Amino acid sequence: IFYTRENNSWQGMSWNNFAYQVECFCSALLSLGLTKTHAVCILMGTVPEWPISDLGTIFAGGVSVGLYPTSSAEQCKYIINHSDAEYIVVDTKTQLNKILQIKSDLPNIKKIIVLDENALVEDPQLISYKGFLKLGSDNLAKHSLVEIAQQAKPTDIAIMVYTSGTTGLPKGACLSHRYIINSVESLLETVPIYDTDRSFSYLPYCHVAERITGFYNRLYAGAPAYFVNDLTKLWQYMREVRPTVFGSLPRFFEKIHSQVISDVEKSSPDQQHLFNKVVKLGQEIDRLRQKQTPIPSYLIEIYDSLSGEIQSKIKTYFGGEIRILSSGGAPLPQEIAEFFSALGLPILQAYGLTENVCTAFNRPDNHRFGTVGQAMPGCKIKLAEDGEILLQSEMMFSGYYKEPEKTREMFCENWLVTGDLGAITEEGFLRIIGRKKELIITSTGKNIAPSLLENLLKEHPLISHAMAYGDGKSYLTSLITLNQIETEDYAQRNNIKYIDFQDLTKNSEIILLVQNLVDKVNSQVSSTEAIKKFVILEHDLSIEAGEITPTLKVKRNVVAQNYKDALESLYS
């Protein structure tokens, strides 16, 4: 079921061993008196003990709550207390120290379970993960686990996922067993995976999309996952594991694209000519396919006769046996989507939210560039008069924990209001425009969705964050932050001299690069949507300062307030 990297080789965990550890975790919770429906908070990186703790908690009748490893102690404290958690599982000394800082403010916590035994300190509330499983093992016979499992109802809450909280405190979305099972079945019907498939596990399980698609989905299908303990070695692991299914953020595919282009430029003129011809043919076939226009057989024959070797080479960048690629977390640049699709590897984009994760998905054999696909099985999508995306589905959340009023606000005439603006094509493909609450209304009354501009800016590897600004103003401006690693790397490659990163953010060549990027983005929108001026911060936005969420979403109100003087100076 899982493979971990140990002593330079992949060590497997059998299904039987996994099931036994889940049962032991469940038994330990029951032995220590977990109150049914109360939470267990998991504060760990992406390691096998995360899903073991998750399923063990659900098995015992508890509610599994994930905490982002990047969360501050204060953020952890709020979720632990709000969720009525009785137990916390941590992996490292860093995470344990975070909890020990706030322990006196956690009145309901009975035990803190620690994976790294070297991190343990003298404290009666602490127990090692190994000791916790032994406690469960010693008491297995006392608990009728099958009977406990059979008592679970489809409407029982299995997990609670806390939303990012870009405009206030995070809300705990209650997700039932029905939500999980229906979501997984909808997903497998849309993009089937099998027990012969291989994939990596490296994104945070506390994010609902990774939990459903990266864990429960694989579990249901019987497909093993390989845990990536060092992201810098992902390329090496690609060659070793040869994954058949792979999902990542857009930036990863941009880097692969750059590497492919670089390698092609180093090849012979004949090879370059062949590569460019295959891409051109593939894009022409895609254009016809996107328009649902019949594709001439001769075009397919020429493409098939020329593309075989090139497609095989492209697959080697993903290990050699890849069959499904997906991208999420941010819009995938259309140039990247068209490039890989032309080479026989479409990158599928999807859309969902914590409250209804399985909403829309592009299919391998039926996808449209610039969209997030058609409605998934069990989900209906329509648009309100103002363009807001509304949903009805069999994968709906059960409400926000302790927040009945906010739960009611999420529904209008039995339709879930997503807060996102969209458009639906004649074929039923959904296109995301932006967040309704984030609309900027200029002094001329023009409504502008800032996410379009921001995402276009962030397509460049040097830009880490971009926030458009201009509510009530006569024109738009933008606050921009740079990715330190990418920017310093760019400076070194281009012989730009600088003292430190702050100095680099003021460098005339870097500013010109950003200006050219802004000009390029402006050329793709109307004059009223164009960014007239911008400011580059000397540092990036941070989770610690409350400027971005653990999922790296910008908290607009906080950022606008923190940098009000800099932004307002753009209008003087």
Radius of gyration of the chain (CA): 25
Question: Concatenated DSSP letters for 280-298?
Answer: HHHHHHHHHHHTTPPPPHH
CB 556 within 8 A of CB 500: no
CB 453 within 8 A of CB 521: yes
Q: 268 CB contacts (<8 Å, ≥6 apart)?
A: none
CA angle at 200 for the pair 134 and 72, rounded to the nearest 5°: 65
Q: Return left, alpha or beta for 153; rule: phi > 0 is left, psi -120 to 50 is alpha, else beta.
A: beta
pLDDT of 105: 98
Q: pLDDT, tens digit, for every residue of 52-74?
A: 999 999 999 999 999 999 888 99
Query: Residue 85: is its pLDDT beyond 80?
Result: yes
Candidates 564, 571, 561; CA nearest to 474 is 571
**CA-to-CA distance for 215 and 197, rounded, in angstroms?**
13
Candidates 69, 60, 10, 67; CA nearest to 37 is 60
Q: Higher-confidence residue: 243 or 229?
A: 243
How large a percentage of the chain has pLDDT more than 70? 99
CB 21 within 8 A of CB 66: no
**CA-to-CA distance for 334 and 372, rounded, in angstroms?**
12
Element of type H or E holding 39: strand 39-43
Q: Return left, alpha or beta for 296; rule: phi > 0 is left, psi -120 to 50 is alpha, else beta.
A: beta
Average pLDDT estimate for 112-118? 97
245-249, 271-275, 337-341: lowest mean pLDDT where? 245-249
CB 243 within 8 A of CB 322: yes
pLDDT of 470: 94
Q: Higher-confidence residue: 128 or 332?
A: 128
According to DSSP, the β-strands at 85-90 and 63-66 are unpaired
Residue 548's SS3 state is strand
CB 275 within 8 A of CB 264: yes
Average pLDDT estimate for 229-234? 90
Only one residue has tokens 């670089």, namely: 262
pLDDT of 129: 98
- Residue 166 binned pLDDT confidence (cut-offs 50, 70, 90): low
36-50, 71-85, 388-402, 438-452: lowest mean pLDDT where? 438-452
Domains recognised in the chain with CATH numbers: 2-152 (3.40.50.980), 181-203+231-398+406-437 (3.40.50.12780), 439-571 (3.30.300.30)
**CA-to-CA distance for 200 and 218, rounded, in angstroms?**
11
CB 226 within 8 A of CB 201: yes
Query: Residue 471: is its pLDDT beyond 80?
Result: yes
Query: Residue 410: is its pLDDT beyond 90?
Result: yes
Q: pLDDT, tens digit, for every residue of 436-455?
A: 888 898 887 788 889 889 99
Query: Residue 164: is its pLDDT beyond 80?
Result: no
**CA-to-CA distance for 549 and 353, rounded, in angstroms?**
15
Q: Taking the alpha carbons of 521, 523, 527, 533 in that order, is the dihedral positive or negative?
A: positive
pLDDT of 167: 62
CA angle at 117 for the pair 91 and 138, rounded to the nearest 5°: 95
Report the range out of 139-143, 290-294, 375-379 with the highest average pLDDT: 375-379
Only one residue has tokens 């699709």, namely: 341
Q: pLDDT, tens digit, for every residue of 483-534?
A: 999 999 999 999 999 999 999 999 999 999 999 999 999 998 888 899 999 9
Query: Residue 561: is its pLDDT beyond 70?
Result: yes
**CA-to-CA distance for 191 and 365, rounded, in angstroms?**
10
Average pLDDT estimate for 198-225? 94
Residues in the chain, total = 572
Query: Residue 165: is its pLDDT beyond 70?
Result: no
pLDDT of 434: 86
Average pLDDT estimate for 405-419? 95
Within the chain, how many helices (H) and strands (E) appear?
Answer: 21, 26
Element of type H or E holding 342: helix 334-342
Query: Residue 225: is its pLDDT beyond 90?
Result: yes
Average pLDDT estimate for 328-355? 93
The torsion angles phi and psi of 18, rounded to 5 degrees, stand at -60, -50
